[in-house]
Amino acid sequence: MYKAVILPYNYSALEPFIDAETMNIHYNKHYLTYLKNLNDEFKKQNQRLIPIKRLIYTIDNYSQIMRNNAGGFYNHSLFWKMLKPNKMNNSNLPTGEAKKLINRDFGNYDLFKKKIEEQSKKRFGSGWVWWIMMPNGKTKIIDTPYQDNPLMYFDCTILFGLDVWEHAYYLKYQADRLQYVSNIFKIINWDYINEQIKS
C-alpha cells in the first residue's frame, strides 16, 4: 500500500497565510482520501504496486480513477514539502540556484511571481500551477487540470507546484484566488526547491 507523507509542520504553522482549519481539511479529508481511493483501486484491479513516481510517468496505461487519485496523492505529497512556516512574515526571497534560474529564465523575481499569478488566473476551474525544469536545464511555468502532474506530460523535474483547487484556499480567501497565490510566496520552501535543482 502507498503511505501518506507526514505533514512536516502542524496545521497552524503556515498561518496567517494558510489557516489551520484549511490545512486540517486539506490533509485529512482531501489528501488521505486520494490515498485511500488509490490503494482501493489497486486492490480492486488486483494490480501490483509500483513506485508512485513510475505510476505517474505511466499513468496513461491506467484508468481515469487511478489517474485522478494517483495525481491527487502524489501532487499533495510534494506540496506539503514545498511550503514552510514564516511566522515572522519575512520577505522569503529565493536563494542559491533557484534565484539564479529565476533571474535567467524570467528576468527577475517580480516577473517570476507575475508569471505564476497570471498562470493561476488562466487555470480555469480546478488544477495546479507548476514551475518545472526541462532536461536542457531551461525552466518554465505551466498549469495542469484537476490532479494531473507535469510528469504525465513531460520528462522534467518538478521544482514547485501550487494547488489552485478551491479546497486549498476557499475557507480563508473565498473567491480571491489571486490573494491566496500572492501569499503563498511568503511560505515557499526554497531549500526544498534548491534540492530538486541539484538532484
Q: Distance between CA atoms of 188 and 83, rounded to whole angstroms?
A: 5
What superfamily would CATH give domain 20-81? Fe,Mn superoxide dismutase (SOD) domain (1.10.287.990)
* Pairing between β-strand 127-133 and β-strand 139-145 as defined by DSSP bridges: antiparallel
Q: What is the mean pLDDT of the chain?
A: 96
Q: Distance between CA atoms of 171 and 187, rounded to whole angstroms?
A: 18
Look at residue 161 and give its three-state secondary structure. Answer: strand
b or e along 73-94 (b: 16 or more beta carbons within 10 Å of the residue's beta carbon)? bbbbbbbbbbbbbbeeeeeeeb
Residue whose C-alpha cell reads 507535469 in the numeric block:
150
| DSSP one-letter code for 108 | S
For the cut 90, the answer to whether the pLDDT of residue 11 exceeds it is yes
For the cut 90, the answer to whether the pLDDT of residue 47 exceeds it is no
Q: What pLDDT was estimated at residue 48?
A: 85
Residues of the chain above pLDDT 90, percent: 95
Residue whose C-alpha cell reads 505517474 in the numeric block:
56
Please give the grid coordinates belonging to residue 23: 490545512
Contact present, 193 and 83 (Cβ < 8 Å): no
The domain limits of the chain are 20-81, 96-198
Q: What pLDDT was estimated at residue 152?
A: 98
Q: Distance between CA atoms of 144 and 130, rounded to whole angstroms?
A: 8
Q: What pLDDT was estimated at residue 40?
A: 96
Burial (CB count <10 Å: 0-12, 13-18, 19+), residue 120: buried
Q: What pLDDT was estimated at residue 159?
A: 98
pLDDT tens digits along 50-96: 999 999 999 999 999 999 999 999 999 999 999 999 999 899 999 99
| DSSP one-letter code for 51 | -
CATH topology (fold) of 96-198? minor pseudopilin epsh fold (3.55.40)
